[in-house]
């Protein structure tokens, strides 16, 4: 049984040329952790301008920490984000790269559609921690992930490339009981002997 959770960026590192919406302030992670389109976003319009986000230790989408002992194996890690290009037509480019301690992947090249509406974009589904060595994902890799972004091509006039929502989706196999009991799974919850705590009352009438 495969489960998933999201990791949102918590900080920035290295060169940062991007800007936060509503100001000329340098871009920060909290402007891309809510799915609110133009409510908050980061933006850029110049070729080569870059930013690198860092990520915290894994947590469950429903709250609570996710320890190494909770994970039997990690199946994949994939970048997902929402972006818009405010020009009336055409596309503009964005490079993204998943990296970190013993994590190294090639640049992904995204073409962001014009029109001002936000579309959902994905990086490659990375089933190994390293493109060159093909090593399996380990919990320690999740504790030091980074994503690099670089604007590709200039945009002109008053147009911008905007990113409003940005996260990594991790697919994993949980430790312990991995089948369902009366429709109960141990995905996305804490467990007692492999049974979801918040649904234990559904097991044989307990």
Domains and CATH numbers, the chain: 3-175 (2.60.120.260)
Mean pLDDT of 154-178: 89
For residue 41, give the nearest of 54, 55, 56, 28 by alpha carbon.
Answer: 28
**Polymer length of the chain:** 206
For every residue of 39-65, which 3-state class applies, written as one string? HCCEEECCCCCEEEEECCCCECCCCCE
Average pLDDT for the chain: 87
Helix (H, G, I), strand (E, B) or coil at 97: strand
| Reported pTM | 0.85
Residue range 95-147, pLDDT digits in tens: 999 999 999 999 999 999 999 999 999 999 999 999 988 899 999 999 999 99
Lowest mean pLDDT among 45-54, 89-98, 176-185: 176-185
């Amino acid at each position: 049984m495969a489960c998933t959770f999201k990791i949102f960026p918590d900080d920035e590192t290295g060169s940062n040329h991007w800007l936060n919406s509503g100001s000329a302030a340098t871009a920060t992670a909290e402007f891309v952790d809510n799915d609110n389109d133009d409510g908050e976003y980061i933006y850029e319009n110049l070729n080569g301008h870059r930013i690198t986000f860092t990520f915290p230790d894994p947590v469950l989408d429903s709250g609570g920490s996710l320890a190494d002992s909770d994970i039997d194996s990690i199946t994949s890690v994939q970048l997902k984000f929402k972006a818009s290009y405010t020009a009336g037509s055409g596309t503009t480019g964005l490079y993204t790269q998943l990296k970190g301690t013993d994590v190294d992947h090639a640049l992904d090249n995204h073409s962001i559609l014009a029109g001002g509406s936000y579309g959902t974009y994905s990086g490659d589904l990375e089933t190994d921690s390293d493109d060159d060595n093909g090593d399996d994902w380990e919990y320690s890799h999740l504790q030091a992930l980074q994503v690099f972004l670089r604007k590709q091509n200039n945009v002109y006039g008053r147009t911008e490339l905007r990113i409003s929502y940005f996260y990594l989706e991790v697919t994993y196999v949980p430790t312990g009981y991995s089948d369902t009991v009366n429709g109960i799974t141990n995905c996305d919850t804490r467990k007692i002997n492999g049974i979801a705590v918040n649904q234990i009352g559904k097991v044989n009438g307990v």
